[in-house]
Amino acid sequence: MKKMVLTLVCALLMAVSSGCTKTPALPTDATTVKTSATTTHFFTQPTVSTTQDDTTATTTTTTTTYPTLSGTVTSSIVTSTTATTITTAKPTATTKPTTTQTTTKKPVKKLDIKGVWYSFLELEATGACDEATFTATINERFANIKNKGYNAVFVHVRCHGDATYPSEYYPWAECVSGTAGVAPAYDPLQIMVNAAKSQGLKIHGWINPYRTMTDEQFETVADTYLTKQWYASENRSDYMIKHEDNWWLKPSNPQVLELIKNGAKELFDKYQLDGIHIDDYFYAKDPSYYGDSVASAKQNTTKLVKALYDIAHSSGAVFGISPAGRFVDTLPDSDLRYYSTDFNTWCKKSGYLDYVAPQIYWSRNASNVNTRFETVLKKWSSFVTAPSVELYVGLAPYKEEMDINEINAQIQLIKAYEKSSGFIMFRYDFIWDKEYNFN
């Protein structure tokens, strides 16, 4: 009997010690899985209770109660286990960065100068009239200029070695009185200055420094004026040469330069001008015709330009030139021809010009590709490198092919180039009844 009991006890002990632990397969969709021991017994099914701390490192206590021949046997097995944690990163919705596209509208470029040339030809149309008529005409025309969106007028004050105002140095201009050297009963320039100021227009005095009168005009000029004295002198060739119908002053003569300077100073002393302005009239022929070399001719015109610039600045005003617009390779045409200009210096160094206004008088589709408007504008835009020199553009509404659409397109091109900041229309008679789109 004892032997039988011992045999049963041994069998029971062997059964307890031979339990198996099995780890279940991980579910594929689990984010975190914790595993614990599972006990399997080989014979009479025991009652199993399991307690487990819900921590990452866990202690599992397995209590097994099973029947025995002498009653029940309770066996407790304490197992310290570490839970296995498997973290599978589930795809999460990626939040796309919010891209806010802010379109900044490029500000519309404002033009500094929207000018009109008012030439001696316009003055001739009202010449030899009384003061009331002249005043009414100028007031009406300058108001028209303002109403059409322009902000500056460039008025002829000296077109043929003369003056459209009472001058100590130059005789009266034929265009305002009808006869060279004969005074009208009023001051035309003062009336134009008053009209410009009342309209908020800038007014620049436009001079032709070297061109003077014809033989016929000199006959009616008093001998008190230097130009008449030079014309009448035996050594006239020291002071002037004849080109076509007019006499032209010699740039190399120091007395000629002094006369031009005195005339410029006089303008600023007597009138509230915003600037003085010259166009493309320099040497009228090859310098050799004057007895000058190419190098000395450039020196002479540079002396003139520097002197006028200094005079304007001493009066708080500006000075600029409107040359022929044509370019040859990398230089303005007038730098290479008899005009003897030196824009290659004046536009690249400070102290000579406040602005240059080349006369780009060709359409965008000119037959000569080298003279097409944008081609020439681009060259000038690259050429003018002195920060102190502005680039304006002379436009030609007087030409048949320059209709409103063409001029409007040219204005837009002027706005498109960073360097160019204005334009001047040649001339009032060709714009007074036209509406251009400056904006």
CB 174 within 8 A of CB 217: yes
Q: Write the burial class of residue 118 (CB in 10 Å: 0-12 exposed, 13-18 middle, 19+ buried).
A: buried
Determine if the peptide bond prior to 427 is cis (ω within 30°).
yes
**Domain extents in the chain:** 46-85, 113-430
| Amino acid identity, position 311 | I
Distances in whole angstroms, Cα of residue 150 to Cα of each of 153, 186, 256, 263: 8, 27, 35, 28
Q: Which is nearest to 115 in space by CA: 66, 76, 148?
A: 148
Low-confidence ranges of the chain (pLDDT < 50): 1-106
Cα separation, 355 vs 344, in Å, equals 14
> What's the token pair of residue 333?
């045409």
Q: Which is nearest to 61 in space by CA: 79, 45, 43?
A: 79
Helix (H, G, I), strand (E, B) or coil at 231: helix
| pLDDT at position 109 | 64
CATH superfamily of 113-430: Glycosidases (3.20.20.80)
351-376 pLDDT, tens digit per residue, is 999 999 999 999 999 999 999 999 99
380-402 pLDDT, tens digit per residue, is 999 999 999 999 999 999 999 99
pTM of the model: 0.76
Distances in whole angstroms, Cα of residue 402 to Cα of each of 96, 113, 347: 55, 20, 28
